[in-house]
Structure 1
Amino acid sequence: MRVLAEQLEVDERTVRRYVEHLVDLDVPVRAVRGRYGGYRLASGFRLPPLMLTDDEALSGLLGLALLRRSGLSSDEATRGAEAKIHRVLPQALARRLTALQDALHLSAPQHDPSTTDAGTLLLLAGAARDRKLVSFAYRSASGRETARTIAPYGIVAHRGRWLVSGMDDTSGQLRTFRIDRITLPRQLQKTFQEPDGFDALNQVMTGIATAPRRNHVVVRAQTSLARARDALPPALATVTTGESGWVDIEIHAESLHWVPALLARLGCPFTIVEPEELNAHVEALGHLLLDAARGRNHAEGSSAVGDAASDAHS
């Protein structure tokens, strides 16, 4: 025991904890008494290359399942990783986790997930870490291809897509690019300096929320900045400080139908600055809610509440 503790550079109590942990993992450790005693593995047993506790194995497999459902990784890659984890688990733990996977039901994945090349993703991540510029070919939503060079500041996963945010070397502006539209990436030797305090997630959310769309909505709400930001998703609305006790809200939307339901989440008085036609949609939602509260049957339904998901894609 003493010799083993010295070799591991820990005390004897820690050695005992290590042994107890191995026994919990179904590793056949035997205690041998006597002058040459100590701890030994059962004859013929070989330690697997990966040893996980119950919690660690559960976290890994659930993480892979959620990753697959999000669309951020291919089904083949995640199932392959799950199979490899299962092969190195003790049989008892593997059976328990298989039972959980068979019984587990996850909500529907994000719509229209994209499959991103792992090599491209890792190259961009390495360039962001090493502060190296990256050149690549980029295909726009219309199918037009252009040559780009960017300083990658950070990578963001949003709604089933991987995005890279950074400075576009050509335009000198902050840009966000979908990684699944990037081809022929190449890390350059030229380095860059990232701005202090740069928040890649905030940059991406702001870029999505402010992307030009058919309708530009401006609203003033009587609430605090913190409460408004808690109520409104950052990818749908930008919130700034307005007059005393009020905040200014901007929303870019292809359709106005879903905006009243979003504004109702504020739970406070608000005034529509523009566009004028938004008032009719707010009034329609108000009538729908009043009819529901009074027990009336709104046979024709209402289009005031819509799905904002399509507006939130970049």
Structure 2
Amino acid sequence: MTSDLPARMLRLLSLLQTRREWSGTALAERLGVTGRTIRRDIDRLRELGYPVAGTTGHAGGYRLASGTAMPPLLLDDDEATATAVALRTAAGHLTGMEETTLRALAKLEQVLPHRLRAQVAALQQTTATIDWAPSGPRTAPAALALLAIACRDHETVTFDYTPRGGAQAPRRVEPHHLVASGGLWYLLAHDTGKNDWRIYRLDRITDPTPTRHHFTPRPVPDDDPAAYVAGKIATAPACYRAIATVHAPAETLRRRTWALADRIQPLDENTCTVDCSSNHLTGIPQTLAALDTDYTLDADPDVLDHLRTVAHRALQATT
């Protein structure tokens, strides 16, 4: 039982920060006090300026609502270190977050204990990040945070989604997992309208909105969200289409470009097609250069424009 009032208040605040909503009974069990004590402690937090919202009824409970300022976070040593390291790496995959993450990191480092500050500094000084596609699509941090909470709390969300080459349409889904791959974020969810599993790219999601309707999680296909998403996106259409018809035998190309072996299809003994499509424009010229032979190209207009720009730069550099 947490009998010391200041310690119990800090513990209560910490618990409220870990879930979207807590029942009064669950909080009382965690703190080893009565429901009446919880209600009094919630009132004390409100008097201190913490925006704790309450709901009534069978499914009622408490949640830390949005306020004029974010309340202090209570982090243990591992959480503080993980947060500092994550701030250093997050900017590369989120929209417009470079300056924001540095400000947040400066605030965190200012209050870290000396022992943790030294650990974080060592990690920052000895860690580098390679961004293979700096011009690729980015994910809005607000959408990422909202969907992460919905996955954790098993809360149905709605949003508008724009598939590649398709029209925007509304979706209502049960979100299960977020998966990061190659600078992109994916949401694995069960689409209630289609009654099937779907994978959504976060940079194509607009206006995600929680519904406050909670669901019972379904078993994830293959029991491995990352493996399932990886298998699906490997066969999904890429952002930028580029199909080369190459004047060389398929077997020759397979030996020359081993990484594309499964994307090479023979047309006859001396000709084949190579699927050079990619989610990143910058990778397509490198793939085409690796063919090292003559070819014709069927590609999206954006791909052709990018190749002309790359060729012009190369020509200027050699004259």
TM, length-normalised to structure 2? 0.47
Pick the structure with more helix per residue. Answer: 2
The structure having more radius of gyration, on CA atoms, is 1
